[in-house]
Structure 1
Amino acid sequence: MKYIRIYLFFSFSLTWLMWVIINNFEFPDYLSSILMIASVYIPAITVWVMKIFNKEDEITIVSLEPDVKKNIKWYLIAWIVPVIFTLLGALLYYSIFKNDFDLTFGRLQNEIINKTGQPSDTPITAANIKILSAILINPFINTFLCLGEEMGWRGFLFPNLVKHVSRIKTHILAGVIWGLWHIPLTIVGHNYGLEYFGYPWSGVLTLCIFTIAAGIFLSWITENSSTIWPAALAHSTINSMGKIPYLFLSTANPSNRLFGPAITGLISSLPMVILASVLIIKEKQLKN
């Protein structure tokens, strides 16, 4: 447990320090981006430094060898499942909050107006470009950014924590730790905004529910592929798809982001929670 405590101390303290600096001081956009990229690599850097200075070889780290040919199935699962479950979550949210659904892409038009000063004559085309980019391009580009986190959570924390507690407790603890790591971002409105009941702690709790469920899925593909890259791809796809459900959100109604429509919402995360539950049941059946 010693190395787990070291990992958690440095991953939390250094990342939180950088986020507090980024959120409270004004930097040029390019410098803020560089600092944010550096901050999400702190979990990976912490693991690498511990491995370098650890002479007893007590640390388990998942392989960085992509082995694409052998694991093509898991790369496809890592890419396709987050897309499907983001859309399922949005569908569930809009089936409950029907008045929130809008096919005129008003929010996208407002975004275009803010950038260009005038509305688009082809909002459907602009929406399609965003959707296709989120599915086909961005996940693969941003995989390298998500690798920094995944080297920490799935590459180090899960396989080392499971040595000390049961698998189900490991899933829950690893998911909660991952969610709590995001507290500074949740406080400044990331994922849920600033105006919701119980701010910010209900947002922290909601995110932890999602990170437990998503973490189970990411750990499952990591263990089956024996490499960290599919988890990084899945993580990247989740992030990439995050804004797509908002394309259909009406401007006439205030967004209740704590419930959805993004996959991190209480309602829209339910399909991922169900998937995670199925994976846990399968794990138990295999043990028996």
Structure 2
Amino acid sequence: MKRISIFLAITFILTWAYEFGVVYPISSGALVGVPPVAAQFATGAAMFFPALGVLITRLVTREGFKNSLIKPRGFKKSLPWFVVAWFGPALLAAIGAAVYFLAFPQDFDPSMSTIVATQQQAAAAAGAGDVSADQVRAMLLAQLPFAVFLGPALNIFTTFGGYRQESVSRA
């Protein structure tokens, strides 16, 4: 319990100090000349603080790093779980959407008019000119396979750290 408390204290202190000291000034516009996309990158950087919290906790508690790696045991045995972890969230999101639209069919909009209008406004504000509704729909639908197949691969770098590492090392 002591290690978890140290980990939580370190992680929350780092995260909140960073959020209020860096992210808030950037996102509120207090720093002149910083592009709006910088707020997204600054916020994303905070995902590494749990991993940093684990490293600092291991140093403070003198636990060391000998048993800190996550290694799958037996690839063939682990493969089904990798598949579940990869496609499960997308499948659950699709099931959740289906259940929602079965319960509230009046909310279903196959033409995606709201998001198409939002994306057209964003494109116009960015100076991209007129973008047709069909182009926006095609762009949104083209992103789905990338979200399902590449999203987990790209996000894997931030998952092996933080509280996940802390809980695995205790096992």
> Given the two structures, how large is their TM-score scaled by the length of structure 2?
0.74
1:1-288 equivalent positions in 2, closer than 5 A: 1-21=1-21, 22-25=23-26, 26=29, 27-29=34-36, 31-56=38-63, 63-65=69-71, 69-70=75-76, 71-117=78-124, 118=130, 119-144=132-157, 146-147=158-159, 151-157=161-167, 160=170
Preserved contact between residue 105 and residue 123 of structure 1 (Cα < 8 Å):
no
Per-residue Cα deviation, 1:64-121 (whole angstroms, up to 9, x for no partner): 3467945322211101111111111111111122211100111331233123333333
> Could you say if the C-alpha distance between residues 31 and 77 of structure 1 is closer, same or farther in structure 2, counting changes exceeding 3 Å?
same
> Could you say if the C-alpha distance between residues 68 and 141 of structure 1 is closer, same or farther in structure 2, counting changes exceeding 3 Å?
farther
**Partners in 1 of 2:92 and 2:41 — Cα distance?**
30
| Equivalent position SS for 1:104 | coil
**Partners in 2 of 1:29 and 1:68 — Cα distance?**
45
Q: Which runs of 5+ in 2 are unaligned?
A: 125-129
Letter paired with 2:15: T
**Partners in 2 of 1:28 and 1:156 — Cα distance?**
35
> Could you say if the C-alpha distance between residues 61 and 31 of structure 1 is closer, same or farther in structure 2, counting changes exceeding 3 Å?
farther
Counterpart of 1:265 in structure 2 is none
**Partners in 1 of 2:149 and 2:85 — Cα distance?**
13
Preserved contact between residue 18 and residue 35 of structure 1 (Cα < 8 Å):
no
Per-residue Cα deviation, 1:210-239 (whole angstroms, up to 9, x for no partner): xxxxxxxxxxxxxxxxxxxxxxxxxxxxxx
Q: Which runs of 5+ in 1 are unaligned?
A: 163-288
**Partners in 2 of 1:109 and 1:67 — Cα distance?**
46
Percent identical residues: 22
**Partners in 2 of 1:47 and 1:30 — Cα distance?**
29
Per-residue Cα deviation, 1:40-72 (whole angstroms, up to 9, x for no partner): 111101101222343356x99663346794532
> Could you say if the C-alpha distance between residues 124 and 143 of structure 1 is closer, same or farther in structure 2, counting changes exceeding 3 Å?
same
Per-residue Cα deviation, 1:226-263 (whole angstroms, up to 9, x for no partner): xxxxxxxxxxxxxxxxxxxxxxxxxxxxxxxxxxxxxx
| Structure in which a larger fraction of residues adopt helix | 2
Letter paired with 1:83: A
Query: How much does 1:33 deviate?
Result: 3.7
Query: How much does 1:39 deviate?
Result: 1.0
**Partners in 2 of 1:68 and 1:152 — Cα distance?**
24
> Given the two structures, how large is their TM-score scaled by the length of structure 1?
0.47
Per-residue Cα deviation, 1:149-202 (whole angstroms, up to 9, x for no partner): x52222214764x8xxxxxxxxxxxxxxxxxxxxxxxxxxxxxxxxxxxxxxxx
Counterpart of 1:221 in structure 2 is none
**Partners in 1 of 2:96 and 2:148 — Cα distance?**
16
**Partners in 1 of 2:150 and 2:88 — Cα distance?**
16
User: How many residues matched?
Assistant: 157
